[in-house]
Structure 1
């Protein structure tokens, strides 16, 4: 099972793709991002659907309509009597002036809204760029609108001659569609349509790229975290299946790993990604461990949680599952002696599962001499950081190699903690209000 909670896809990334007009489309948008697709064929088909909508940018750039009209038409088409029969208001056309007036207003609202969507958007779409299967879906939407004979009724409304016979004829069309479930199917297909419109707008706005799927390994150019205002873009090319990432605290290791994880996950749900170019294998399992916490509900410490997550991945890899896994500051939750030993065993062991990809960040400088590094069986990168006049300067640039830079003591000194801890006196403590003053003699 994929474990991608630490990527914050739903909370942080999905809103970037959300230009939806109603909550039905928003729900479908969430559904498209919910889980990876099961094959490269399915991924490429979804990519082509999004590209088809992007090709129609000129038609869809200002895609919009009255949200209140949409919800009122939706409720109108779904309203039934207590026995579950067709819209009771339509059945009462001609029963009373009040009922007839209400039905007439509702029908006019429906004709106006559907005609607007049909004429300005659906009818103008160039369907040639879309995959054949989705062309069928677009045809269904178009046929749904045209089956109402909207052009005719729009003319009658404009001429102020939309009379009872027109209303009853339109009511019969609606009743038949309610009876055979066509109304419900339309709104579901329409929500998916609008979700794709939303996604295409996002890709065009942010300039994301569509990944290419290759067996040769994971390669990313210009990768960045999409929530950063002025992101530093980095390249990554995994010659081996394990990457060991080093760098001091606050240098950007976690952000870099999360950016790669976001790209890999979005690629597997068929979306464009925040990078200039991406080549990736197809992974059957995606696991990301970045945010450090204890699982209090299950009684797991952070270290035990790492053990459990790592075991799950290794068992899958042994079974032949192609895994992508990120472990940020692996084994941070235990003492340094244990961390070094189990990290060495982990790195050497993971290097055996060549089809999979493992990205690990660490502060354990002792791992520099691990066997797999000496034999060039794993890649090493570091996030660069300079020190000017005792102050760290973060560049957020990822470079090949290893960093032994330690800035903990620099930051400690920069905040004046050495002086504070060594020079605190009773007078200073009293001045800060920690001890009561002695009463005046």
Structure 2
């Protein structure tokens, strides 16, 4: 069965800060937004809002971005003012539907100059000159691109679109545009008629292509700036997820970690105290998988992934006052939602941070063991579950496909030092009372009574 749509909900996008930010921090889209025009920015948002689950589409986009990254490190040279005005000009509802005569052209020019209210000729003049400048930019870039494509490893997307561009510029009308330097009034009105009526379809093709290239160049620039790498994408028949040097792109000087999943080892159970790095690791993993399915480079040294059909995270879930849901009930409903999704598409990555933190220790222990045991039976999906209920790990040790890991914490001069390195095993560190005493909470309360 081929999964064409990558299922991801608003909670997951919020957890991973794809568009929204937590406490006015960074967002994933902000990380990649090096676009030069509004259309390019919209296209970038579209890419990230709709990750893919089709091997051909993902690979094609990834290879295009990597090609731009390698051969055009400076990006696309656009005249932003010309592009902005061209977009404005083409959006105007009133456009010519008849071929103008010399007399009509001169008449409109004169009328525009002597009138204080009419700007019809000005719009046509500036719109035409801006569009011509943009078309010249596109042609010049396409000539350079054609030479680069001959060097090998040419992405299908670029070859196909560049062939269309060069073919269009073989038409007489576009040959003339390449050499234009001065514009008579008749030229303005004739080209206005062409751009906004007879050849409107091709002009919008050029504009859409610029937007797409702008978005793809922006991703390539982010890859260079943040040292992102291009993942090895495998068909959905491969149940594998390998990452070396995984890091969170929002964290300065981030500590990287490795992780490996296959159908014989598809559930990672992470134990340990708060602040050790569990949540950041889960977000980094979620972001990497999300970006890989958008065809984007990822925050890791290396990544290999068989295409999944979806991603579900529960990291920043909260209670819902409007429905009367407690935090614990919200967690239960989230698990139920994941179960329904697994029922429909059983090739997803599921991330749960601090499972059942909204209830008492006994229920949290029993619930964690029950839910993890049930998830462990599903070998076609991947699961990562973090908890501070370390006792649950002992109950789960008999499950052969569960990996047990924790974030190492060292002690120096009686104080914990966080390494943020993932190690094999189960954590035995408890920091609750250390933090309470360090903050002087008990002494503060005792001083009140004294």
TM-score class normalised by the smaller sequence: 0.7 to 0.9
Residue in 1 that maps onto 2:16: 7
**Aligned residue in 2 for 1:436:** none
- Whether 2:236 is the aligned partner of 1:224: answer no
The answer to whether the aligner puts 1:191 opposite 2:224 as a matched pair is no
Q: CA 1:381–1:191 in structure 2 vs 1: closer, same or farther (change >3 Å)? A: same
Provide the C-alpha distance between the structure 2 equivalents of 1:87 and 1:8, rounded to a whole number of angstroms: 52
Judge conservation of contact 1:234–1:398 (CA < 8 Å) in 2: yes
- State how 1:107-186 maps to structure 2 within 5 Å: 107-119=128-140, 121-125=141-145, 126-128=148-150, 129-144=153-168, 147=171, 152-153=176-177, 155-157=179-181, 162-177=183-198, 181-186=201-206
Q: 1:297 to 1:184 in 2, by over 3 A?
A: farther
In structure 1, how many angstroms separate the alpha carbons of the residues matched to 2:302 and 2:404? 21
Partner Cα distance (1:280, 1:264) in 2? 8
CA-based RMSD: 2.8
**Any gaps of 5 or more consecutive residues in structure 1?**
427-441
Mapped partners of 2:337, 2:386: distance in 1: 19
Distance 1:91 1:312 in 2: 69
Q: Name the TM-score, length of structure 1 as normaliser.
A: 0.86
Q: Is the 8 A contact 1:294 1:301 kept in 2?
A: yes
Contact kept, 8 Å, 2:407 with 2:422, in 1: the verdict is: yes
> Partner of 2:248: helix, strand, or coil?
coil
Q: Which residue of structure 2 lines up, in the alignment, with residue 93 of structure 1? A: 105
C-alpha displacement of 1:175? 4.4
Quote how far apart the aligned CAs of 1:168 are: 4.4
| Residue ranges of structure 2 left out of the alignment (5+ in a row) | 1-6, 21-26, 114-120
- 1:298-313 equivalences in 2 (<5 Å): 298-313=323-338
2:382 corresponds, among 352, 357, 365, to: 357
Q: CA deviation at 1:216?
A: 4.6
Find 2:38's aligned residue among 8, 19, 23: 23
Counterparts in 2 of 1:185 and 1:91: CA distance versus 1, 3 Å:
farther
Question: Which residue of structure 2 aligns with residue 376 of structure 1?
Answer: 400
Alpha-carbon shift at residue 21 of structure 1 (Å): 0.8
Q: Which has the larger radius of gyration?
A: 1
1:71 equivalenced with 2:84 (yes/no)? yes
Deviations 1:156-181 (A, max 9, x none): 52xx5x33443344344324445x53
Change (3 A) 1:420 1:92: farther
Count of aligned pairs between the two proteins: 417
Contact 2:89 2:127 in 1 (8 A): yes
Give yes or no for contact 2:232–2:304 (8 Å, CA) kept in 1.
yes
Is it true that 1:37 corresponds to 2:37 in the alignment?
Answer: no
Residues 401 and 156 of structure 1: CA distance in aligned 2, closer, same or farther (over 3 Å): closer
Distance 1:355 1:425, change over 3 A: closer
How far apart in 2 are the matches of 1:210 and 1:91?
58
Q: How far, CA to CA, are the matches of 2:368 and 2:75 in structure 1?
A: 53
Report deviation, 1:402: 0.9
Cα distance, 1:42 vs. partner? 2.1
Q: How far does residue 271 in structure 1 lie from its aligned partner after superposition?
A: 1.2
TM-score by length of 2: 0.84
> Is the 2:317–2:330 Cα contact (8 Å) retained in structure 1?
no
Task: Give distance in 1, aligned partners of 2:243 and 2:139.
Answer: 41
Which string of whole-angstrom CA distances, capped at 9 and with x for unpartnered residues, describes residues 82-139 of structure 1? 8x84799x995211425387344443333234323432x2321123433334422233
Residues in 2 aligned to 1:235 and 1:156: alpha-carbon distance in whole angstroms? 57
1:175–1:2 CA distance, 2 compared to 1 (3 A): closer
2:358 is equivalent to residue 333 of structure 1: yes
1:209-358 alignment runs, 5 A limit: 209-214=229-234, 215-238=238-261, 240-319=265-344, 321-358=346-383
